[in-house]
Structure 1
Amino acid sequence: MTGPRVFRFLNEKGSLDAHGWDNPAKAKLWRYNQHYFDDLNAEGADSRGAWHQALITDWIAANPPGQGSGWEPYPTSLRIVNWIKWALAGNTLNEAAQHSLAVQTRWLMRRLEWHLLGNHLFSNAKALIFAGFYFDGPEAANWRKQAMAILFRELPEQILPDGGHFELSPMYHALAVEDLADIVNLMTAYGSRLSAAEQALARGCAARLPGMLRWLNIMSHPDGKISFFNDAAFGVAPENDCLHAYAARLGISVAPLAPGLTYLVDSGFARMARGSIVVLCDVGRIGPDYLPGHAHADTLSFELSLGTERVIVNSGTSEYGTSAERLRQRGTSAHSTVQVGNEDSSEVWSGFRVAQRARVYAVEANETREALILAARHDGYTRLPRGPHHSRSWQLTDTTLRVVDRLEPAAKGVARYYLPNGVIAEATSSDAGTLRLASGRVLRWYAAGATANVEDSTWHPRFGLSLPSQCLSLAFTGDLTFDLTFDPDFA
């Protein structure tokens, strides 16, 4: 909130006076954010207590039960949790708000999102368990019982053995870390009321958090922020340092990452770290077969940092919905990987749908004294006439990242390397050039077997944000070797 009745969501301003609570002139996700009530627990919320009291009163009056976007199960779930967190932090929910909170929970109880599953159903269960502890009586006990049944079922499904969230989005993974930490925190606060089953759930959530925090570290850049694989953007989930601090207050911590090659077998990602160079690679499936809504066609894409400067990225996520721009951002051409015939490696369509999916195989991960080596193949283009398999390998030494692409049988492809805002590419010939970083460092690149072009593009590190950037585009047939060299003294 930027004023008593003024908001800024997804980098877009709005107000209750101008837009009300459910104005279709605003995108669905913007309206959802109105109904989340995240600001009740945001930084500096204590100074906005009077705004929040008035906002809750206004919401109750303007949103009769069951009417409008705010009563859909997902925003209802987040709002229930936020109101209860706010109350448990020492604020007062008056009688009308207490009554509304109970009505919202009853409404949610009858509309759990079994048809969507994933993070939606988990959020439903989290809301039920928060309300189940906040209120007393047999109805509240039933909410807790339903929440327990969902969480016991979903925890082993949604949290993979390597610690990753199964939708394979670093952003949604960070949200899942917060969810589990919240549940541990809540159950610690209500420890004297826990049943044996609830105690077991609290232990199970706490036991998973170290692995989840480690996964978050692996899939983040040295700047301390998440990478952009599948739906991911800054400013939605809590920052990494906030999540680690929260976990530490609960007595949970993880050791710093070691350099070298780390392959997350269950998630299908890998991290190559040598000196100050970090390369993050996607060598896995796009997500759960039954839940690809947050998937992008980004198979075998990668991101690279030199120290705290991002050098190569995927182009990010700035919007949801069913627009042409949403579809473009999900497509292969918006990622640092290879595209064949203007097709996507996985057939993304609509806002949250995927038809045929690329399958990754032949993953190899090796570490020697001289280099870190990762290789994989996928079959996403074999649905095309004479469609090729795409294989890619990464080799990282102290001075060079070498990326080798092969299309078999030989076919025309385009390898794209997206650069964040502030990194400037120059082609000094048809197959060589430089990358100039914001710090002034200059990296040299050479593309054997390709014709290179530097194209104007956009980078989307936050929802509602499109920054001018560049893309290095390499057209090739059959085989391509790309070398990026850097100063070994810096590395």
Structure 2
Amino acid sequence: MKKLVLLFHTLKYLKLSQIFYQFYYRLRKPQLQSTGQLTLRGSIKSWSGHYYLEPMTNDARIFTFLGQTAQLKGDWNDDLLPKLWLYNLHYHDDLNAKHEGDRVDLCSKIIDEWIEGNPPLHGNGWEPYCLSLRIVNWVKYFLRLPTDRIKKEWLASLAQQGKALEQQLEYHILANHLFANAKALVFIGSFFGGKQGESWLNMGLNLLEREIKEQFLDDGGHFERSTMYQAILLWDLADLLTLERTSELPELSKHKRVWKEVFSKGGEWLASMCHPDGDIAFFNDATLGIAPTLEDLNRYSSILGISTHNSEIKPYDIDGKLLESSGYGVIQWNEGHCLLADVAHIGPDYQPGHAHADTLSCEFSFYGHRVLVNSGISQYGDDEERHRQRSTKAHNTVVVDDENSTEVWSGFRVGQRAKPFGVSFEKQGGVIQLQGSHDGYKKFRKGVIHKRMWLAKSSSLTIEDNITGRFETAVALWHLHPEVILKENSSRCFSLITANGERLSLSFDGAKAVKVTKGTWHPSFGESVTNKVIQVSIDGSTLTTRLEF
């Protein structure tokens, strides 16, 4: 019965179109279709985009993805390898990795062997997301080659992949997946001419026009509220702008203004959600090494002639803002301290697959070094570790009665979810107050509400948690960056020392018990680094946490 209730609260948020296409794609499998007479547009001069990925292979035999190295032994769908690892194998990112100019023969070998080992419509490589990323990579690669180096069988395979993709557009998933589908259609439609090319191009542009309006919020944030996917989609927009510039196709030029505006505003949002070290904060599914960095995106924007706007703190020693549409608070100090706080909805109701139970969590940097960190992710899939990394316990917030504030389950599913309310942001001189509440625990305990307030001054940060309603236990968790040294001054007061020797004081008022345990922080896929976690049992209903520096 519990599972049925959980399933009900998961499915009730879906769009009818998602449910329809879930059944439709199960009943109607893609068919091998004729591509007709293939012609190239010939209007694209060459590909001149930016690159950020490191090569994953040096011989097309041994590949390293997501922190795992394995040998390809002719089977592109080896069941002994993780599904996500195999997906990366099929993306063909190596065709457009750094130093690509020195690897033409190797890249050509990868394409030849993929065609030989992946007959049409069989295996992971013919699933729509893999198709989308590989189509873009192939088109970019082909645009850098002399025409006489592009083999006929490559073009035939690329066209077959386009036909397979248009039959499997991910209307059942939507969000960033459908965006990737649309980008691929625009790329292949700009590369091929004739009736077929026009069909793909128009289909892709129409999808993009709709999805950009749907997916990017007024403050520039992507609606899935993952800093990692924000960076990925901004790179997609930069690629589209590069395609427009190098092709000068009038169909693309009509969309240039909107693409630039969304890219620019989205870049500002991402800059706000990065720590002083230049890397992203870990809210929802986010880790390093998957998406382009802010620096990568700034370089790409300079190539495109788009100005970037990074935050400047003036006129006070402390400043901040509320990213109201996406739901994140940002407070910054001139000395390189930074607070990033989550007062957001977990994501779009109909697609929360990358959401964590992290409402009212926060991260904090001191003199440019991370101190308080959410745990991040090291994997996808559906196992105990994936569930733990999405849990409330893996984030800097309060756990009530050992439950998750949002019912994250399976690998990418969400049942009942915490809803934030009472969010406010006030700035007066050198004092900033941010607060918000959520009702995520009401589903387990009658009337339980978690309210958190952050009060920032020039030399301190106070965090007050208030839990109302009937509950048995409430525990605030503070995950420390692995490089932070923790020294206990008393049972309620600690010294935190950063990697560069800077010291700040952490103390608690209203704590029943405080203990230090081991945890793990995940700065990349396949990586788990031991860190310390301070668990503070709340005595009564209110806990005050103070950071003084």
TM-score after normalising by structure 2: 0.86
Note the 1:82-93 alignment, pairs <5 A. Answer: 82-90=137-145, 92-93=149-150
Q: Does 1:188 align with 2:242?
A: no
Partner of 2:421: 361
CA distance in 2, matches of 1:212, 1:90: 32
For 1:271, the equivalent position in structure 2 comes to 330
- Residues 1:289 and 2:349 aligned together: yes
Q: Pick one of 165, 171, 178 that aligns with 2:228.
A: 171
The residue that corresponds to 1:489 in the other structure is: none
The answer to whether structure 1 residue 38 and structure 2 residue 97 are counterparts is: no
Aligned ranges 1:48-127 → 2 under 5 Å: 48-90=103-145, 92-127=149-184
Q: What CA distance in whole angstroms lies between the structure 2 residues aligned with 1:420 and 1:445?
A: 14
Deviation at 1:387, TM superposition (A): 4.6
Cα distance between partner residues in 2 of 1:23 and 1:314: 34
CA displacement 1:129-162 (0-9 Å, x = unmatched): 0000111110010001111221111111001111
Q: What residue number does 2:546 align with?
A: 483
Give 3-state SS (helix, strand or coil) of 1:382's partner: helix
The match for 1:139 is: 196
- 1:96-133, Cα deviation, whole Å (9 max, x unpaired): 11111111011101111111101111100100100001
Taking the TM superposition and a 5 Å limit, the aligned residue runs for 1:202-351 are 202-259=256-313, 260-275=319-334, 276-351=336-411
Match of residue 483, structure 2, among 419, 422, 427? 422
Question: Partner amino acid for 2:542?
Answer: D
Note if contact 2:272-2:310 (Cα within 8 Å) is conserved in structure 1: no
Cα distance in 2 for residues equivalent to 1:433 and 1:221: 23
Any conservation in 1 of the 2:337–2:368 contact (CA below 8 Å)?
no
Rounded Cα–Cα distance in structure 1 between residues aligned with 2:275 and 2:413:
28
Partner Cα separation in structure 1 for residue 429 and residue 385 of structure 2: 44
Amino acid at match of 1:210: S
RMSD over aligned CA atoms reads 1.2
- For 2:300 and 2:345, the matched residues in 1 are separated by 31
Q: Could you say which residue in structure 1 is the equivalent of 2:525?
A: 463
The separation in 1 between residues aligned to 2:541 and 2:530, in whole angstroms, is 31
Runs (4+) of structure 1 moved beyond 6 Å? none
Inter-partner Cα distance in structure 1 for 2:534 and 2:142: 51
Q: Distance in 2 between matches of 1:349 and 1:220?
A: 28
* Distance in 2 between residues matched to 1:200 and 1:49, nearest whole Å: 34
Structure 2, unpaired ranges of 5+: 1-55, 314-318
Letter in 1 for 2:288: F
| Distance (Å, rounded) in 1 between the aligned partners of 2:138 and 2:447 | 53
Q: Are 2:448 and 1:388 aligned?
A: yes
Q: Distance in 1 between matches of 2:101 and 2:181?
A: 27
Match of 1:358, SS state, is coil
> Counterparts of 1:353 and 1:427 in 2: how far apart (Å)?
39
The within-5 A match list for 1:374-413 is: 374-409=434-469, 411=471, 412-413=473-474
Contact 1:274 1:396 in 2 (8 A): no
> Helix, strand or coil: the match of 1:60?
helix
Shift of 1:473: 1.1
Report which structure shows greater RCO (CA 8 Å, sep ≥6): 2
Using the TM superposition, give the Cα deviation of residue 410 of structure 1 relative to its aligned residue in structure 2, in angstroms: 6.1
Aligned-residue sequence identity (percent) comes to 42
Structure 2 CA distance, aligned partners of 1:27 and 1:250?
37
Instruction: Give deviations 1:412-456, integer Å, cap 9, x for gaps.
Output: 211111112211223332211111211122221110011211111
> Aligned partners of 1:262, 1:369: CA distance in 2, in Å?
14
Q: In structure 1, what residue type is equivalent to 2:118?
A: N
Counterpart-to-counterpart distance in 2, 1:255 and 1:329: 33
Higher mean alpha-carbon deviation, 29-38 vs 439-448, is at: 439-448
Post-superposition Cα deviations, 1:395-422, rounded to whole Å, max 9, x if no partner, equal 1112111100000126421111111221
Do 2:360 and 2:452's aligned partners in 1 also have CA atoms closer than 8 Å?
yes
Helix, strand or coil at the partner of 2:172: coil
Distance in 1 separating the partners of 2:87 and 2:309: 37
- Report the count of equivalent residues: 482
Q: TM (normalized to structure 1)?
A: 0.96
Greater alpha carbon shift after TM alignment, 290-299 vs 42-51? 42-51
